[in-house]
Amino acid sequence: MTRIRKVGVCGAAGTMGAGIAIVAARAGFETVAYDLSSDALSQAAENTAGFFEKSVARGKMSKSDRDAVLARLTSTNDLADLGNCDLVIEAVYEDPKVKQDLLATLDATCADHTILASNTSTLSITEIASGCSRQDRVVGMHFCLPAQLMRLIEMSPGVNTSDETFQAAWAWTEAVGQVPVRTQDKPGFILNALLVPFNNEAIRAVEAGVAEPADIDHAIKAGLGYKMGPLELIDLVGLDTQVRLCEAFYPITLDPRAAAPALLRRMVAAGRLGRKSGSGFYNYDDQAMYGS
């Protein structure tokens, strides 16, 4: 079985990619964070340092541990720097061609033993691996947002994924302190097969005037015991991300509940993307609610 010592993360300037890099480096693995934009990588590195600074301030880690973690984490915009990684996890846009092209490039760049993992939340692992000569060494590893705080990873083998690859990736998720759950290579796996339609129905409830966003979230949290309401979650993930999830999920399932609601598309067109833009269903300056 492949022994994983060094980890690469593609798309590491994004929220998900940056979180995955934190998970790997925090657990003691040498980690290489790759993205096309040097400026975005610099911002991600600054945010990562701030995350660990808060951990020190809260007494969750020592300054020496923080310094050790940051020393294990390097950034690059040269894909060749991932060549000697044992595991490379892609966390780029939820677009099958983008992911296929990236895996094909990694296939030609990385060592023969390297495991290539996709953080896709909706797409087929088998389809993503289809342009790669090492389909037996491709596996699905869907982290939850934010990856550095949420422990679940949906582990999905493709049709051609070898048992050795799957077991090596599974063992790594446990080594970094995450909780793996095996899923089949089905649209949306477990979480998004349930969450995409559910979150869309919450948006449609706002659009229909059933209740204000805060009241819908409060009802879900109080009635179902959720820690975060669906509209709070969409604001955290990003409304544009929810649209991309719908666009990936709906054509595969033809489930009308998975189609992007009109209100969601209007809000994205208006630049109200959630926390990252300062407003979505909530305004993050004064916590006022949006919905119409």
Q: Residue 47, Cβ neighbours under 10 Å: how many?
A: 14
- Residue among 75, 119, 121, 199 flagged as catalytic: 121
Q: What is the pLDDT of residue 292?
A: 36
Q: Residue 202, Cβ neighbours under 10 Å: how many?
A: 24
- Residue among 119, 156, 192, 199 flagged as catalytic: 192
Query: Is there a shared CATH topology between the 6-182 domain and the 191-277 domain?
Result: no
Say if pTM beats, i.e. exceeds, 0.85. Answer: yes
Domain ranges within the chain, ordered by starting residue: 6-182, 191-277
pLDDT in tens, 16-65: 999 999 999 999 999 999 999 889 999 999 999 999 999 999 999 999 99
Query: In angstroms, rounded to a whole number, what is the distance separating the alpha carbons of residues 116 and 134?
Result: 9
Q: What is the mean pLDDT of the chain?
A: 93
Q: What is the pLDDT of residue 146?
A: 86
- 74 vs 253, higher pLDDT: 74
At CA 46, angle to CA 83 and CA 22, rounded to 5?
Answer: 50
Q: Which residues contact 155 (CB under 8 A, 6 or more apart)?
A: 139, 140, 141, 166, 169, 170, 173, 180, 181, 182, 183
Looking at residues 201-209, what average pLDDT do you find? Answer: 98
- Residue among 154, 156, 200, 232 flagged as catalytic: 154
Q: What is the pLDDT of residue 291?
A: 41
Tell me, yes or no, if 218 is annotated catalytic.
Answer: no
Q: What is the pLDDT of residue 131?
A: 83
Tell me, yes or no, if 77 is annotated catalytic.
Answer: no
Reported confidence tier of residue 248, pLDDT bands at 50, 70, 90 = confident
- Strands, E assignment, the chain: 6-10, 30-34, 73-76, 87-90, 115-118, 138-143, 152-157, 179-182
Q: What is the pLDDT of residue 275?
A: 92
CA distances from 59 to 54, 65, 174, 235 (A): 9, 11, 24, 29
pLDDT in tens, 80-113: 999 999 999 999 988 889 999 999 999 999 999 9
Amino acid at 250: Y
- Residue among 75, 142, 199, 279 flagged as catalytic: 142
Looking at residues 236-240, what average pLDDT do you find? Answer: 91
Give the burial class of 236: count Cβ atoms within 10 A of its Cβ; 0-12 exposed, 13-18 middle, 19 or more buried: middle
Place of tokens 């070898």: 162
Residue 196 pLDDT greater than 80, yes or no: yes
| Sign of the CA dihedral with 56 first, then 61, 66, and 72 last | negative
Q: What is the pLDDT of residue 1?
A: 67
- Give the 3-state secondary structure of residue 118: strand
Reported confidence tier of residue 287, pLDDT bands at 50, 70, 90 = very low
CATH of span 191-277: 1.10.1040.10
Tell me, yes or no, if 232 is annotated catalytic.
Answer: no
CATH of span 6-182: 3.40.50.720
Tell me, yes or no, if 174 is annotated catalytic.
Answer: no
